Structures are given as structure tokens and as C-alpha cells.
Structure 1
Amino acid sequence: MPVHTSMSSQDHRGRGVGLGLALGSAVAFGGSGVAAKPLIEAGLEPLHVVWLRVAGAALVMLPLAVRHRNLVRERPLLLAGFGLLAVAGVQACYFASISRIPVGVALLVEYLAPALVLGWVRFVQRRPVTRAAALGVVLAVGGLACVVEVWAGLSFDALGLLLALGAACCQVGYFVLSDQGGDAEERAPAPLGVIAYGLLVGALVLTVVARPWGMDWSVLGGSVDMDRTSVAASLLLGWIVLIATVLAYGTGVLAVRRLSPQVAGVVACLEAVIATVLAWVLLGEHLSAPQIIGGTVVLCGAFIAQTSTPARASQAPVARGAANTGGPRIPGERQRVVR
């Protein structure tokens, strides 16, 4: 009995740390759009901001890539998959989708990722999913529909919706790949090494897509306007690279390792809520009553999801969490979300 109590206490602490990391990741990702919007309004293209973000983060993480160069030999497919899906795939699909459909609709479709993760757990891993887990997903997605006010732009384009769904599938890849090595039987690859190489791969792919040689580099040397306040463009870029990318990816991957793709994914739904609130506070974009209600519903869904999932130390093979989303991107304001 004393051993059981000790294990239970340890599992509880591990869950608390994991939830803290997941929340920190959501805050870091959610704040990126607030920093990116002034740069876009100053003349940079959204894809150029994304390229600066990923390429800058890859440069910061380069020493870790060199330190963990053994991963290239041991886990080449994991590194390639993380870079293509979790970094480049989400960005490219999301931006391609918002060129054809409203931002709110694209964001909502992308955040169907929690439901897709539950589908992965149930039908691919063949593990049962609890009703509480499914309820957490339904509440999170429904609340997000209110946060992005999806009814304000209901125009449908088949290709645009397909691209948004592609972004959601890439989000699933982010959470599933982040969990590699999370089981006791499998030696977990160094999470920071995986992130470093994922960013390098993503930067190479996005270089082809964004074509940064046509960017207006002079914007980065001056100041930009943030809700009538002058801020150095380099300071905002530093925030996007160091906080919204390096810190966000690092805490996100560690959260998945401590929790599960299902639980970390639903907590990541808070990213859109945090992005909207920060845009309200820092950019003067006021929240409507439906958005406030929707944010509350998302919080309820995330709470139900995390309380319904057993800790990793449990021997039960049942997936009781809710699903995933978020990741890594540059989310931002309600009508100009940069991911």
C-alpha cells in the first residue's frame, strides 16, 4: 500500500508538470500572431513571416542538432516526418487554405485534429476511447466555433476545405510523432534533437514555398505599429523565433511525452482562445459575447479531457484522454491568424 501511494503521488506530480508544459506551449504559440500581425501590416508577406520564424528557430537550435547528430542515423524517418508534417506541412496547408476560404472556417477545420487523434487511437492503435474523452473533443471544437465566429464567413470551397483538413492531419502528425518513444519499451529520442532537425527540414521546405529572396528586408530594421505603440520589428521577430517557436515546440513535445497525444492536443485547443484574448489586450481587437462563451466552453472541454486520461505510469492500455491540436504555428488574431 505505501508503494501504491508513492506511485500515485508521483503520477499526479508528473501529470501536473505535463499540463503546465502543455499550457505554456499553448500560451507561447497563441502569442505569436499578436507579434506577427504588426510585421505583416508593415509590409511583410505572411509566408515570409513564417519562413523567418522557422529559419530563425532552426538557426538557434543548430548547436543541438549537431549535438544529437546520431538521430540522423538512428531516426531519419522520424526527423523527416516531424519536419514535413509538424513544421512545414501545417504552415503550407493552412496558408493555402486561407487563400480560398475564410480564416475562421480554416482555423476551425484545422482544430478538428483532436477528433482525428481519437480516431487514430481507436481505429489504428485499436484502443478504446471513453465517453468523457469524446465529450471533451465535442466541447472544445464547439467552443472554438464560437471563438473564431465561424458563422461570419460561411463560404465553401472544396479545395480550400481539403487544404484546411490537410493542416489538421499534419497537426495529428505533430502530436503522434512527438509521442515517439513515450512507451516504456521504446527508448525515447532526445526531444530537443527531434525539434532541431524538424525545424531544419521545415526551413528547407518553406524556403522553396515562401521564396524569401523577394522579401522586403528593410522592414526588419525599423519600427512597426502595435495598437498605436511603436515597437522595434527585430524585437517582435525575436519573440516569434525564441518564444513562439523554440520555447513553444520544446514545451509542446515534452508535454506530449508526459501526458499523451490525446490530452496534450485538447489542451492545445486553448491556443486559439489565448491568441484571441491577447489580440484583445495588445491589439485592441475586442471580444464579442459568443467568443467569451466559446472560450469558456473550450476550457471546460480541456478540463474534462485531462481528467479523463490515466497517467502514463498506469498499466491500463485504455486511451482515456481527449485529442490534439495546436501545434506549432503562428496563430494570432481572429481574422488574420498567422500559424
Structure 2
Amino acid sequence: MNTYSRKLGLLLVILGAIFWGIGGTVSQKLFQQFGISVNWLVTIRLLLAGIALLAIQFFKKERSQILRVWKNKQTSIQLIIFGLLGMLAVQYTYMASISHGNAAVATLLQYLAPVMIIIYTVFRRQAVLTGQDVITVCLALIGSFLLLTNGSISKLSVPMPAIIWGVLSGVALAFYTLYAVPLIKQFGSLVIVGWAMIIGGVALSFIHPPWRIHIATFNFEIVMYLSFVIQFGTMLAFWFYIESLQSLEPKETSLLGSLEPLAAVLTTVFWLKVPFGFFQWLGSLCIIGMILLLALVKKPVLKENSSNYDEKAFHN
């Protein structure tokens, strides 16, 4: 592997993680300042990003994979389940948490998913409980407490609906990660995530059709923010992450992917001027530390089909 490829891989994964984090903050601005509907944004984001990802796959050598996933009844059913209970659930709960609270808290709560996966895999005896697991869970619990209460046990610093949607987002992401592994290994990330986005977008279209919005009221600022969320915060972010795997070790991409919550926190506080107390900063550092610990240390696995954090092909 030459130096140029490695530098390009590092640049791609860093940009992808930052785009993911900033995309959540830009979505918050669309919800809270411009009154954009969560249902509409999730629908249009999933549909356009899904089509774009499949278009990228079409120009690659393995373009036949796009339709091959539908030729088997079992994989077709699995893909539909993944699209509805995985992709749609993750996207909607995450965006709802942002709408009721802010992007920083929503992103950090979603990153509790690895802790839920640890508990699940240990309970199912797919992995052994290690000292790292204990430290990881403690960091997650302490970080969440400080983040949501700012150190006060008498009141919450974040609205309850934002917390509920954020925790549900973590649960949905845990399911997404565990369920997607076999499909992604067989057909590739672009195909599975692209179709899952389209399935989720089509399903949500029955509740909120994407054309049911007054586009005439959109100004240039709204259009630019929407374009960023769809193109940079979704499609390019995911594509860059996948492409970086061609020249970097999976552990390196996972580690640098932890820049996402950091980008979300910094842009929420310094761009949107959302106040963050000392203990909330401390809680954020605990959760980011948990992510770094998971990325740096490989834990033993008992079963081949267990979840592998380094192979994750998900995000916001």
C-alpha cells in the first residue's frame, strides 16, 4: 500500500465522520429554525441518498449485486426487515431526538449502541465478558448521567422526549449493526444500505409523501442546508467511509469515525450556541472515551457470526 493511498484513506474517513456529525447539527437548524418536518426530511433524505448509493454501485465492477439481492426470497425478506426495522428506525429516532433536543445529545445517545451490543452478545454467549466491557459500560452510564443531568440529580438538562428518542435510536442502531452483518458480507455495503434507505423512504412516504411540502417557501439558505444533509451528511459521508476501507485497516476507520460525535458537539455548541455545562462536557468526554476504547481494543469473540465493530457500515 503506497503512502498516497493511505493519506487519501485518512482524509476520506476524517471527512466522512465530520460530515456525519455536522449533518446532524444542520438538521437541527432545519427543524428548529425553519420548521422543516422530521417526517419529510427523513423521507427525502433516505430516498435520494439511497438512489445515489446504488448509482455509485452501478458504476463499479459488482453492479450485478444490485439486483441479485432480490433474486433470493430469504435475502429479500431480510433486506425488507433491515430497511424497516433497521435503517428507517435508526434514521427516524435519531432525527426525532435532534428535533426535540439537539444534535450533540442525540448523537452521543445513539453511540450507546455498542454497549447494548456488548450486553446482548454476552447474554447470548456470543462473546465473553471482559474488563474492557465493564469499563465501557461504566463510561457509558457515567457519561449519559452527566450529559443528561449536568451533574444535578433533581432535574434533567435535556427534554425527556429527546432522551427517549435518543435511547430508542441506540437500540435501533444496535439491531441495525447486528442484523446487517450477513447481508453486507454477501452483497456489499453500498447495495444493502442503498436499498435499505430506499425501502425506508418508500415506507415513510405512505405517512408523509415527499411531495407534500410547500417548496415555494424554501429560500436559498434552506436549500443549501438540505443539500448538505442529503449529499454530504448522508451519501458522501457513507461513501467516503466505505472507500477508506480500501486503504486503511478497519480499526483505523472505526477509531477516526469517533470524530462524528465530537463534530456534532462542537458545531452544536459553537455554531448553534446551545449551552453546554461543565458536567455535560465531562459526560461527552466519557462517551467519546468509550468509543475510542472500543475502537482501540479488540475483544474476544466466541461465534463467527457475532457483531464486529470494525466492519460496521452504518451511520447517520
Q: What TM-score results when the alignment is normalised by the length of structure 1?
A: 0.67
Contact residue 20 and residue 234 of structure 2 kept, 8 A: yes
Aligned equivalent of 2:156, options 152, 156, 177: 152
State the partner residue of 1:175.
177
Q: What is the rounded CA distance, in whole Å, between the counterparts of 1:205 and 1:219 in structure 2? A: 26
Aligned equivalent of 1:35, options 5, 26, 42: 26
Q: Deviations over 1:255-300 (max 9, x none)?
A: 899648xx95x98676444212112232233433223222322232
Query: Kindly tell me: are residues 320 and 59 of structure 1, through their superposed partners in 2, closer, same or farther at Cα, counting changes over 3 Å?
Result: closer
Q: Which runs of 5+ in 2 are unaligned?
A: 2-6
**SS of structure 2 residue aligned to 1:73:** coil
Q: What is the rounded CA distance, in whole Å, between the counterparts of 1:55 and 1:141 in structure 2? A: 35
Q: What is the rounded CA distance, in whole Å, between the counterparts of 1:125 and 1:17 in structure 2? A: 39
Query: Kindly tell me: are residues 70 and 60 of structure 1, through their superposed partners in 2, closer, same or farther at Cα, counting changes over 3 Å?
Result: same
Give 1:30 shift: 1.4
State the partner residue of 1:334.
none
Aligned equivalent of 1:45, options 33, 37, 54: 37
Give 1:140 shift: 3.5
Contact residue 269 and residue 325 of structure 1 kept, 8 A: no
Aligned residue type for 1:87: M
**SS of structure 2 residue aligned to 1:298:** helix
Q: What is the rounded CA distance, in whole Å, between the counterparts of 1:206 and 1:35 in structure 2? A: 21
State the partner residue of 1:193.
191
State the partner residue of 1:207.
205
Give 1:126 shift: 2.2
Q: What is the rounded CA distance, in whole Å, between the counterparts of 1:255 and 1:146 in structure 2? A: 34
Q: Percent identity?
A: 18
Aligned residue type for 2:41: V
Contact residue 112 and residue 141 of structure 1 kept, 8 A: no
State the partner residue of 1:131.
131
State the partner residue of 1:335.
none
Q: Counterparts in 2 of 1:210-221, with a 5 A limit?
A: 210-220=208-218
| Aligned residues between the structures | 294
Contact residue 111 and residue 141 of structure 1 kept, 8 A: no
Q: Deviations over 1:44-96 (max 9, x none)?
A: 22222222222221232342566321122243234223321332112344566
Q: Counterparts in 2 of 1:319-334, with a 5 A limit?
A: 328-329=315-316
Query: Kindly tell me: are residues 64 and 141 of structure 1, through their superposed partners in 2, closer, same or farther at Cα, counting changes over 3 Å?
Result: farther
Q: What is the rounded CA distance, in whole Å, between the counterparts of 2:234 and 2:11 in structure 1? A: 17
Contact residue 133 and residue 321 of structure 1 kept, 8 A: no
Q: Counterparts in 2 of 1:267-278, with a 5 A limit?
A: 271-278=260-267
Query: Kindly tell me: are residues 76 and 29 of structure 1, through their superposed partners in 2, closer, same or farther at Cα, counting changes over 3 Å?
Result: same
Contact residue 42 and residue 92 of structure 2 kept, 8 A: no
Q: Deviations over 1:94-144 (max 9, x none)?
A: 566789x86798777654422220123223352213211331243144324
Q: Which runs of 5+ in 1 are unaligned?
A: 1-9, 11-15, 224-231, 330-339
State the partner residue of 2:84.
84
State the partner residue of 1:13.
none
Aligned residue type for 2:197: L
**SS of structure 2 residue aligned to 1:139:** helix
State the partner residue of 1:283.
272
Query: Kindly tell me: are residues 174 and 149 of structure 1, through their superposed partners in 2, closer, same or farther at Cα, counting changes over 3 Å?
Result: same
Query: Kindly tell me: are residues 219 and 325 of structure 1, through their superposed partners in 2, closer, same or farther at Cα, counting changes over 3 Å?
Result: farther
Q: What is the rounded CA distance, in whole Å, between the counterparts of 1:256 and 1:171 in structure 2? A: 21
State the partner residue of 2:53.
61
CA RMSD of aligned residues (A): 4.4
